[in-house]
Amino acid sequence: MAENLIPAWWARLRGKLGARPCPYRFAWALDLPMRAWHASPAKILGAFGLEPGERVLEIGPGTGYYSLPASRLVGAEGALVALDIQLAMLLELRRRNAAADGMPVLVVQASAVEIPILTGSVDHVFLTTVLGEIPDRPRALAEIRRVLRRGGRLSVSEQLPDPDYVALGTLRRELAPLGFVEERSRGWWTYTSTWTVT
Ligand X SMILES: C[S@@+](CC[C@H](N)C(=O)[O-])C[C@H]1O[C@@H](n2cnc3c(N)ncnc32)[C@H](O)[C@@H]1O
Residues that bind ligand X (CB under 6 A): 1, 21-22, 30, 59-62, 65-66, 84-86, 89, 111-112, 128-130, 133-134
Question: CB neighbours of 53 closer than 8 A, spacing ≥ 6?
Answer: 74, 75, 77, 78
Least distance to ligand X from the beta carbon of 69, Å?
11
Least distance to ligand X from the beta carbon of 111, Å?
4
Q: Compare residues 108 and 178 and give the one whose CB is closer to ligand X.
A: 108
Q: Compare residues 161 and 181 and give the one whose CB is closer to ligand X.
A: 161
**Quick check: 81 and 118 in contact, CB under 8 A?**
no
Least distance to ligand X from the beta carbon of 198, Å?
25
Q: Compare residues 65 and 195 and give the one whose CB is closer to ligand X.
A: 65
Euclidean distance between CA atoms 172 and 155, whole angstroms:
12
Euclidean distance between CA atoms 66 and 100, whole angstroms:
13
Euclidean distance between CA atoms 148 and 150, whole angstroms:
7
Q: Compare residues 38 and 150 and give the one whose CB is closer to ligand X.
A: 38
